[in-house]
């Protein structure tokens, strides 16, 4: 096993956003049986000197591919499109305005716990948008539209983050 093998190749998966998670898990366990340091503890062969390094590499690859957001970033990097959330220059004014409106709505709801139904509606709306952008991301990857995939990922990550904020608010206020 070459240590710098593409993660998809490592697990015998197609280089795509939509992957078979069960196959990924099966391949992960098969590789760990072969390369995990505990499984090779008594082996003193020279070729096993970097077993730990290989096991770490396998774990890292698995963690990235099992997570759709990390997998998307990795796919973009394989196609020479390096995604950086914090440096994204999204110039979509409509989306930026939507973000502002959502944050304004959240600020109002934070101070009015009696508006439970509005908070739940906002949560459902955000969940829907997150799922929408997840499907759109898959479509952009299937069409090999890397820049659009990066823009879609940026939007998806906004909704993912915002959904988490809403969950915390709901939990805090016991809605």
- CATH code (residue 95): 1.20.1280.20
Dist CA 76 CA 83 (whole Å): 7
Nearest to 59 by CA among 96, 7, 18: 7
Residue 47 has pLDDT above 90, yes or no: no
Q: What is the mean pLDDT of residues 57-71?
A: 97
Whole-angstrom Cα distance, residue 35 to residue 127? 39
Summarised one tens digit per residue, pLDDT across range 105-131 is: 999 988 887 888 899 999 999 999 999
Q: How far is Cα 31 from Cα 36, in angstroms, rounded to an integer?
A: 8
In a domain, 95, yes or no: yes
54 with 95, same domain: the answer is no
- Give domain status of residue 59, yes or no: yes
- Split into its structural domains, the chain has a count of 2
Residues 159 and 101 grouped into a single domain: yes
Contacts within 8 Å (CB) and 24+ apart, 105-112: 106/162, 106/165, 106/166, 106/169, 109/169, 110/169
User: Predicted confidence band at 72 (pLDDT cuts at 50, 70, 90)?
Assistant: very high
Q: Give the residue, 71 or 111, on which the prediction is more confident.
A: 71
Q: What is the pTM of this model?
A: 0.84
DSSP code for 39? G
Q: Do 57 and 111 have their domain in common?
A: no
Does residue 86 fall inside a structural domain? Answer: no
By residue range, what is the domain housing residue 129?
91-173
For the chain, the C-alpha Rg in angstroms (whole number) is 21
**Which carries the bigger pLDDT value, residue 156 or residue 113?**
156
Rounded to an integer, what distance in angstroms lies between the CA atom of residue 14 and that of residue 9? 7
pLDDT of residue 64: 98
Classify residue 78: in a domain, yes or no: no
Beta carbons of 35 and 46 less than 8 angstroms apart: no
């Amino acid at each position: 096993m070459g240590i710098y093998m593409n993660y998809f190749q490592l697990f015998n998966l197609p280089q795509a956003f939509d992957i078979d998670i069960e196959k990924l898990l099966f391949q992960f366990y098969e590789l760990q049986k072969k390369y995990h340091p505990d499984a090779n503890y008594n082996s003193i062969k020279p070729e096993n000197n970097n077993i730990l390094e290989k096991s770490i590499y396998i774990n890292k690859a698995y963690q990235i591919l099992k997570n759709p957001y990390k997998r998307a970033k990795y796919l973009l990097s394989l196609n020479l499109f390096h995604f950086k959330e914090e440096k994204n220059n999204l110039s979509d004014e409509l989306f930026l305005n939507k973000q502002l409106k959502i944050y304004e709505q959240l600020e109002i709801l934070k101070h009015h716990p009696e508006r439970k139904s509005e908070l739940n509606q906002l949560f459902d709306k955000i969940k829907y948008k997150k799922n929408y952008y997840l499907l759109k991301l898959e479509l952009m990857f299937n069409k090999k539209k890397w820049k659009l995939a990066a823009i879609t990922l940026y939007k998806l990550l906004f909704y993912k983050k915002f959904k988490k904020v809403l969950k915390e608010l709901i939990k805090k206020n016991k809605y």
